[in-house]
Amino acid sequence: LRAASAWIEAGEALRAAETAMKCATKKWVAPELAVQAVDTALEYADAGVGSTFAPEIYKNALNWYAARGAFADARKAATRYLEALAAARLDAEPARFRCLAASVVLALAA
């Protein structure tokens, strides 16, 4: 997470978020540190909302949580993903529908 902190100090919130997500997916990272890395990535991504790159961070977090069975957190990430798509003014109807469908499945699983 030091690399992510360096990016945030340089004013690059989305690069920091991307770096933190990459840290979370490494197999050698302890589970509690991986959760912290994802939380940090989402925090940094919040600073970059409106950018066309922000939705990707939320989508990655959604996938990360869902893969680990953290369905409540995955639902929150899905909501933030939809908000980021709207804030970035992306015309991503298929992505919105997939995300809404995923939210329903996650709600049923939780």
User: 64-73 long-range CB contacts below 8 Å, 24 or more apart?
Assistant: 64/21, 64/24, 64/25, 64/38, 65/38, 66/102, 66/106, 71/106, 71/107, 71/109, 71/110, 72/106, 72/110
| pLDDT tens, the chain, 110 aa long | 788 888 888 888 888 899 999 888 888 888 888 999 999 999 989 888 888 888 889 989 988 998 888 888 988 998 888 888 888 876 666 677 677 777 767 776 76
pLDDT, residue 66, reads 87
